[in-house]
Chain A
Amino acid sequence: MLSMLDRDRTVAGPGYRRWLIPPAALAVHLSIGQVYAFSVFKEPLVDHFGTKLTPISIIFSISIVMLGLSAAVGGTWVERAGPRKAMFTAACCWSLGFVISAFGVTTDQLWLVYLGYGVIGGIGLGIGYISPVSTLIKWFPDRPGLATGLAIMGFGGGALVAGPLSDALLSRFADNPADAIAPAFLTLAAIYFVMMTLGAFTVRLPAEGWKPEGWDPDRDAERSMVTRGNVTAANAIRTPQFWLLWTVLFCNVTAGIGILEQASPMIQDHFDTVAAAAAAGFVGLLSLCNMGGRIGWSATSDLIGRKPMYMIYLGVGAILYFLLASTGTASVAWFVLLTGVILSFYGGGFATVPAYLKDLFGTLQVGAIHGRLLTAWSAAGVAGPLIINAIADAETAAGKSGADLYTLSLYIMVGVLIVGFVANLLIRPVSDRYMEPAEEEGTGRFRREREPAPVTAERS
């Protein structure tokens, strides 16, 4: 039975349609995207355990740190085991996390929620996040940005689904939401297990040597940032390109969190006319922009190239942040427009990264390299809120109020984005000495790539 999960049992036969793969990836990402809606459970958990907000907030932090760690450590295993086994493992971990947490809530043991949702669920997050990505890149070598954008859009969309769903479950199972946490967790565990398992049993790998009809890899390789070789994950982290891209992702995420972290109070501090319900609408709109940016900008990167796309995210993003700091109070519509575009860049930055990695390092271990790169997300997830909250506290202590509370933070984010812009500017094609020897067709022997990709002109 378990042999069905093996990598060699998932290879697609002739005539398999590649458009059956994106919904499998979406099923996994929509499920694990629930983590961004965890805040729905915060107040009920505070009530249930009779504690403060900080011990409850730790649950989310543990899961995000575990996401980065498991993606980094488990990336190579994901490549070796294949997408079906990895996605099924993610389904088991993610659902088991909810079940253990439900047991922790029932028995009043908060540490079990840390272990369940935080540690075990966090492992499911990391494995689930990276497992469909490299498969999609292999099926869509001609449009990797569109393909990975579709999947990673699901991660953004997962919160939009889980937010109202969790609210509905909490109000259905008991009059007091604090008494409904355990059954709500168990229901979510069942829903996500079914959905992710369906995804796992639908996913397939392309046969060795398969390529889309009419697609010529040599035409892509004429673009200087697209390699024809392959770099292993172990070698990739020795290249300056990996660490420059790490910096790019770190800066892009840190800047996005600058708004995400404070979205609701930020708009209310900028405009007296915006009430709490309207602020919730603003947060929802930002989530839609975040989700739309993942598919829209990532698909655009297939047309204009990955490096120019990140120049837009970081360069235009810096200008928008500057405008927000200097003219953000002009009108609600202007404020919403600026923040909406910034958040679309934030989402786009996440979704375009796997295709950028594929361009630089090839498809051999792109999932494992992606996993290692996601440590930038974990680091930014800790650094971003720390910077924003520390500055907000200092400004409040200095007697500032309203929009003035955020001005310094926004200017700091302009600086962060400029650092990312420079890092992106410095990215050049990876040197041939990091490339793996290529297997000669049909012989089983290996040879060095004799015709390295041209390295002079930028893709434009």
Chain B
Amino acid sequence: MISDSARGIALWFLVIAALLYGIVNTMTNVVDLFA
């Protein structure tokens, strides 16, 4: 049985990784705007 803390911390990593994936992909397009 996974503890609440372990699940919560794992979820923090998961959502931060997902957000970073989105932000990095978006920033590659943003570079074109000021190129």
Residues of A near any B CB (own CB < 8 A): 12, 16-17, 19-21, 23-24, 26-27, 30, 154, 157, 159-165, 195, 198-199, 201-202, 204, 274-275, 277-285, 287-288, 332, 336
Contact = CB atoms under 8 A, between A and B. Distances in A.
Q: Is the interface of A mostly helix, strand, loop or mixed?
A: helix
Given A20-B8, A160-B25, A278-B35, 13 more contacts: A17-B8, A23-B14, A30-B19, A159-B22, A164-B21, A198-B14, A275-B32, A277-B32, A278-B32, A279-B33, A281-B33, A284-B29, A288-B30
Given A17-B5, A274-B33, A284-B30, A198 B11 contact: yes
Contacts of B33: 274, 278-279, 281-282, 285, 332, 336
A281 B21 contact: no
B21 to A, nearest CB: 6
Interface residues of B, number: 24
Nearest to B8: A20
B20 to A, nearest CB: 9
Q: Is the interface of B mostly helix, strand, loop or mixed?
A: helix
A150 to B, nearest CB: 10
Interface string B5-20: 1011101101100110
Nearest to A283: B29
A17 to B, nearest CB: 7
Interface of B: 4-5, 7-9, 11-12, 14-15, 18-19, 21-23, 25-27, 29-35
Contacts of B23: 157, 160, 288
Contacts, number: 97
A348 to B, nearest CB: 18
A27 B26 CA distance: 20
A347 to B, nearest CB: 14
Contacts of B27: 284, 288
A20 B27 CA distance: 29
Contacts of A20: 4-5, 7-9, 11
A155 to B, nearest CB: 12
Contacts of B11: 20, 23-24, 26-27, 198-199, 202
A27 B19 CA distance: 10
A260 to B, nearest CB: 15
B31 A281 contact: yes
Contacts of B31: 281
Contacts of B12: 23
A23 B14 CA distance: 9
Given A163-B22, A202-B4, A23 B15 contact: yes
Contacts of A280: 29, 32
A180 B8 CA distance: 34
A423 B20 CA distance: 38
B29 A277 contact: yes
